[in-house]
Chain A
Amino acid sequence: MDGISHIVVEVSDLKRGEEFYRLLGFESAGYDRVPECGRNASFRTASGQWLILSENGRPRSLPETGVHQGYRVTPLNRAAIGKKLAACDVFVHTYKEDRPAEESDNFYFFDPDGNRIQLVAPHTTADLSDEFLAIDHAAIECHDLEWAEDFYVNRLGLVVDHRVGWRTEDYVRARIWGEGKEHMAPGTRRWDQRNTVMEQKRRIPRPNTQLFVRAGEGVLGVYLATQHRQEPPEEQIVGTPRIALRTSHRALDQTAKLLTEGRFAIQGPMEHPDSAAIAASLYVRDPGGNFLEICVPR
């Protein structure tokens, strides 16, 4: 896997969604270009990645959780976008996350459908042209992080970038949040209820367990789900919202083999018609029920 190829987010109104994402500098690249995304509008970034808006009357954006999408822009452009957002009365949150690489990049807001967006502007982008735009990372939820690690590392070959929740330091920092002294992004912290009589049902601040895995320049943040949610039916392998990782034809077949050996239900690999923006895809769901696509670019 050498990076994120595209991400599919759900919006309730395609037209309204398109207008909002154009504000961020995304350029329209037509409709229904990427297969298996329902009625959709696609955008192409300067990095050659795709953002797909898929229309769904009840978009699964999970705004109260750690789920979000991170886009990379230049510092100058981020300031300009900030002004545009302010003009549209979009509130920019400045909470923090735990991954050291994002420590200084606390710029978050919601699209009209509750998809949380983070704009990161690392120093490395400072010299790039203002049109520069890339998909930096995507965060999802999973109800079993050990299983998720096994899947992403051993089956898909991603590497661990960062972990949260394993160290005393994480707990010390969570207490600072509990005291109201640090503003943290949704999904990164939680209040745990101790249920023993001995502890008098005390509530304690804790870091929410997180795993970050990397494929090339793309990072996936996997947050522990703090409650069980209804997942799509087990037999549904392809759906939205979805994250697509980029790979080669050869690796696509190898991945299909590894996943089948691991008894993961897959759909594909399949070649797409010439009109599609990508050449071939393999579909699978991660152990948290998140829809994934492994694809070969054109």
Chain B
Amino acid sequence: MADVEGLSHSAICVHDLKEAEDFYCNVLGARLGNRVNFKTDDAVRGRSVHGSVILEDYLLALMVPGDLMPMPPQDQHRGAHGFRHAFRVSRGRFNEIMDALKRRNVRFEGPVDHPEKSPFGQSIYFKDPSGNFLEVLWRRDEEANYRKPYITGVG
């Protein structure tokens, strides 16, 4: 058994905090966590600029790097720019997210069907505005009751 209790959160780099917040909140339905460096106390302490969004039980810290990152090619929707986050949603929500992406002209790949034996039904692949790869999928056992989420990424 691994000597960790679970994944707490991920920190990803974004080129524009406002744009990223808008994307995660309005496409994926996240809620705003916090923002750092919009208060004098943060400036006095020299803290880095970052924020966070919370997707149900998972916290994504949005870090604003001091250097522009290389961007994956525009027409590449599936990949791992460092890594890829895959979020599980219900089938209904899956369709809503596809609609939200279309409305915002965010290009995506899919829905891709997984093999019948796979626990996953379908996935779509896309990127956030800073080129971070994302996947949204629904599980064949979506009726199963999972434990109530507990957000361990919030300090």
Residues of B within 8 A of A179 (CB): none
Which of B31-39, B80-88, B116-124, B139-147 contacts the other chain?
Answer: B31-39
A193 touches B46 (CB 8 A): yes
Smallest Cβ distance from A227 to chain B, in angstroms? Answer: 6
Partner of A195, one of B35, B39, B46: B46
A167 touches B16 (CB 8 A): yes
Q: Which residue of A lies closest to B64 (CB)?
A: A168
Number of interface residues of A (CB under 8 A): 27
Residues of B within 8 A of A227 (CB): 40, 44
Is A215 interfacial (CB-CB < 8 Å)?
A: no
Is B17 interfacial (CB-CB < 8 Å)?
A: yes
Residues of B within 8 A of A195 (CB): 45-46
Smallest Cβ distance from A221 to chain B, in angstroms? Answer: 15
Most buried by A among B16, B18, B39, B41: B39
Binary contact track B107-128/A, C-beta < 8 Å → 1, others 0: 0000000000000000000000
Q: Which residue of A lies closest to B21 (CB)?
A: A166
Smallest Cβ distance from A185 to chain B, in angstroms? Answer: 17
Listed in ascending order, the chain B residues whose CB lies under 8 Å from chain A are 15-18, 35, 37-41, 43-47, 49, 64-69
Q: Which residue of B lies closest to A225 (CB)?
A: B40
Partner of B64, one of A171, A190, A208: A171
Residues of B within 8 A of A167 (CB): 15-18, 64
Q: List 25 A-B contacts (CB under 8 A).
A: A143-B40, A146-B38, A165-B38, A165-B49, A166-B16, A167-B15, A167-B16, A167-B18, A168-B15, A168-B64, A168-B67, A171-B49, A172-B66, A172-B68, A175-B66, A192-B43, A192-B46, A195-B45, A204-B66, A209-B38, A224-B39, A224-B43, A226-B40, A226-B43, A228-B44
Residues of B within 8 A of A163 (CB): 18
Considering the complex of A and B, which 3 residue pairs feature the smallest CB-CB distances, nearest first?
Answer: A192-B46, A143-B40, A145-B38
Q: Which residue of B lies closest to A143 (CB)?
A: B40
Docked CA distance A168–B12 (Å): 13
A171 touches B40 (CB 8 A): no
Is A144 interfacial (CB-CB < 8 Å)?
A: yes
B40 touches A144 (CB 8 A): yes
Q: Which residue of B lies closest to A175 (CB)?
A: B66
Q: Which residue of A lies closest to B39 (CB)?
A: A144
Docked CA distance A42–B130 (Å): 51
Most buried by B among A167, A208, A225: A167
